[in-house]
Amino acid sequence: MANPMKIRATAKEGVTEVKILMQHEMETGLRKDADGTLIPAWFITEVKAQYQGRTVMEAQFGQSVSKNPYLLFRFKGGAAGEKVSVSWVDNKGESRTDEATIAA
Which residues are at the interface with other proteins (CB under 8 A)?
Answer: 15, 26, 28, 30-33, 45-46, 48, 54-67, 69-77, 87, 89-90, 92-95
Minimum CB separation from other proteins for residue 52, in Å?
Answer: 11
Minimum CB separation from other proteins for residue 49, in Å?
Answer: 9
Nearest alpha carbon to residue 2 among 101, 95, 98, 72: 95
Instruction: Report residue 100: phi and psi, to 5°.
Output: -135, 150
Specify the residue, 3 or 58, whose C-beta has the smaller distance to other proteins: 58
The angle formed by the CA atoms of residues 58, 82 and 88, to the nearest 5 degrees, is 30
Question: For residue 52, how many other CB atoms are within 10 A of its CB?
Answer: 11
Minimum CB separation from other proteins for residue 68, in Å?
Answer: 9
Specify the residue, 23 or 95, whose C-beta has the smaller distance to other proteins: 95
Specify the residue, 33 or 104, whose C-beta has the smaller distance to other proteins: 33
Q: Is 70 helix (H, G, I), strand (E, B) or coil?
A: strand
